[in-house]
Structure 1
Amino acid sequence: MLSVGLTGGIGAGKSEVSRLLASCGAVVVDADLIAREVVEPGTPGLAAVVGEFGKGVLLPDGRLDRPALGRIVFADPDRLAALNAIVHPLVGARSEELKAAAGEDAVLVHDVPLLVENGMMPLYDAVVVVDALPATQLDRLVRVRGMSEDDARARMAAQADREQRLEVADFVIDNDGPLADLEPAVRRLWQQLLERP
């Protein structure tokens, strides 16, 4: 089994690379998706988040109000650390379950937004960084995701910077150009991963 850590700054296009790797045959363990699962209504994770941040982070139907929580944690590193202390162990446990279910010859791609920030590089056989210029990230967050520029900048600032990510990369996918350029780049990466000893 080859264990790959996939990361990139918000708005760099990591989710699209993850989707393309899955279409090549990778088993993808998506930390963002798991992070959503572990705070669904009725979970111990959601109870812990409400215990830490109060009922103001809940929607009327009892689900987590992600934008409200985001406004709290992305403006305050201590509050972000408190949230991570709740969610990260739960995500880690669920990721281990998925890893155990993958086949021996699988290429297991861990889609981990905060891989660099949490010093997780040694956990993987290879680290892939999806890279885009900060101006491109900002444009995508505002234009495509509909974030305010201030919110987008705060989320970008809460992550490792581009140089920190590139420094730990074994492979880099340049996603600063059009989407049409991304698929061939990911297919080349897939071949390189399959050829690793």
Structure 2
Amino acid sequence: MKPWILGLTGGIGSGKSAVAHYFIDQGVHLVDADHAARWVVEPGTPALAKIVEHFGEGVLQSDGQLDRAALRSLIFQNPEQRLWLETLLHPLIGQEISQYLARAESPYAILVSPLLVESGQHRLAQRVLVIDAPEHLQVQRAMQRDQTSAEQVQAILKAQASREQRLQHADDVLLNDRNLAWLKSEVERLHNFYLTLRGGQP
């Protein structure tokens, strides 16, 4: 039987990565949309060639890899350019994700994506799990992890879907406001529940 797909998302600093690791420990096949987004623009890919043609050689590093920072600064203030890039990349990323998930051996597979809701990737999933955290904790965790300022974290929070938007799409919500041992036991509990589902629905 084909595995059903669980979409896993949450804002910056919500603890998505920790939750993803615990699911992998349970033997669940998992793909990260961020990794897929990197695969589609590796040197030699048609997408990278199109990006260079559109934005110029300035978006390449000396070794031929995409210079993400340079590209980000070009599209950050420019909605039209960002839309052009998303129109090119989102279908390709979706394809990569689908091919990868199709190889899953586990009863269900997980798509981890910080932009699950915004990018429309939630349509690839039969069920959505949102990792939620109080905003002050998100800011604190992200600052520690990325060594950035509270302002930068706030800016990223604003660019991501609001908690309300994400929670509207959620079938399950895991409020990650305690310690890792508790988080791990919650993931085990969810995993056992997911194993009882057919096609992601009770």
Cα deviation, 1:26-82, whole Å, max 9, x if unaligned, reads 111211111111111222222222233332222222212223333333444433322
Cα deviation, 1:105-137, whole Å, max 9, x if unaligned, reads 631111122121134434322100111222222
How many percent of aligned residue pairs carry the same amino acid? 43
Distance in structure 1 (CA, Å) of the matches to 2:80 and 2:134: 27
Structure 1 residues 122 and 42: CA distance shift in structure 2, 3 A: closer
Q: Where does the alignment leave 5 or more consecutive residues of structure 1 unmatched? A: none
* Structure 1 letter corresponding to 2:141: R
Distance in structure 2 (CA, Å) of the matches to 1:53 and 1:176: 42
Q: Is the 8 A contact 1:2 1:106 kept in 2?
A: yes
Paired residues, number: 196
The alignment yields a C-alpha RMSD, in angstroms, of: 2.1
* Structure 2 letter corresponding to 1:36: R
Distance in structure 2 (CA, Å) of the matches to 1:55 and 1:134: 39
Distance in structure 2 (CA, Å) of the matches to 1:77 and 1:139: 29
In structure 2, the residue matched to 1:29 is 31
CA drift of 1:88 comes to 1.2
Output the TM-score relative to the length of structure 2: 0.85
Output the TM-score relative to the length of structure 1: 0.87
Distance in structure 1 (CA, Å) of the matches to 2:153 and 2:74: 14
CA drift of 1:21 comes to 0.8
* Structure 1 letter corresponding to 2:36: I
Distance in structure 1 (CA, Å) of the matches to 2:39 and 2:27: 23
Distance in structure 2 (CA, Å) of the matches to 1:190 and 1:143: 29
* Structure 1 letter corresponding to 2:168: E
Q: Is the 8 A contact 1:27 1:109 kept in 2?
A: yes
In structure 1, the residue matched to 2:87 is 85
Q: Where does the alignment leave 5 or more consecutive residues of structure 2 unmatched? A: none
Distance in structure 1 (CA, Å) of the matches to 2:49 and 2:75: 17
Moved over 4 A (4+): none
Indicate which of 45, 48, 52 corresponds to 1:46: 48
